[in-house]
Structure 1
């Protein structure tokens, strides 16, 4: 397919249909974008409420790009520093194949990414990013923007300065590096490893009640609550412990912090009916 390009000017709206898309690259300064997976090879792009700067949409072979013409991809965050938060906005809805290879970046926009079955690299400066029902490995980057990942299947690697990160689902592995952003991991089933590094951000992980854990945790002045153990500041000495589960599977929890707290709790066991038909639960809520 030859290169096709569309430019949506401020004040204009546009609907564009593309027959075949295997790769999607998005760069947005402000506004709102929804990227939704569907079961077709085609893509549909709906654009409206464009302000400030033109929005460029192009298809080159099977590669779809949606961005502002002045932006480049090799130095995404550096380029965006030269743009004001309100210099360009657009409201965009994109339907793409579930298996599309996605590279995504935004400054202050809000975004929803849902229903994909692919690995993706997602970056935000201070915009809110929500990811729902994605299967694949995620590489997340944030300066101060909040990132929420729900009903995920796969591994997650996250980097943040002050933005909070919340993830849940069948997470095979999770790793994060941060400064002051809080991290919450709600892992369903068997998670191989949770590894975090933070300065003052708090880390909380919720695991299934039947999963064993192997802890290697270090904090200077933070508080550790690891199952039934509570430790106040290891002062560089580190803390190692093992909690047995119902089987042979263990989750390795490796955490380092300066003043941030580290907490690991257990999900409540499912309610079960007793002989009188009443329901009871066990574990920690």
Structure 2
């Protein structure tokens, strides 16, 4: 039982990271119906950006965390301005190809800037592992869970209690209708790109002390975040959180009870099952309203 509990705790930690990445996919999809396959590279840039500010420049964590989040969010704005908005006929397949190209470009640029070697990032909290019923959880895992909880609460307050959040919801429901009512839909799309990229950056920040920071880390994390979003229901913020946690737990149990060789395959097997059995996901639009 202690081994099962350890797998569950490890899975919850990994699942919380997948949930943050899935939230980035969902945030952008709600506003634009676009799946951004460069999302994983924003995770990578958040991780490497934190390494640069903490290790190379000596910034404290309390200053580096918001600075990296802001910079990665600005990169999302640049992507929308330079690569997405100029497209005259924004067909979905064309936009997806553009995001794939942006992913390749950002990964290559990161390799030139930071090199191919992984970089170590210090943990956020020092101290011995916390024992829970024969299992152990690291202080870094508690930081990750706290950040994810704050993000979920903040997104809920943003979408339900602010005019900007309600305007973004209106654009997600009916973009043309929102434009008729005077809501600047282009600005809402730009904000969605910024918030989506920033969420990816936060995911990279909180995972970097666990996996180390490397130029090629974002590809698999981005795909798993997309699987989590599809599992929970693409378009549902709660679904992104549920899908991420469920994917992390199933992945950890599969690694511990079956084989570590199937770790990366589990996410895609789950995705295939969901697409065949319930394409809308666990908390998709047919099962629940948006956040």
- Relative contact order (C-alpha < 8 Å, sep 6+): which is higher? 2
Pick the structure with more helix per residue. Answer: 2
TM-score of the pair, normalised by structure 2: 0.22
**The structure with more radius of gyration:** 1
TM-score of the pair, normalised by structure 1: 0.22
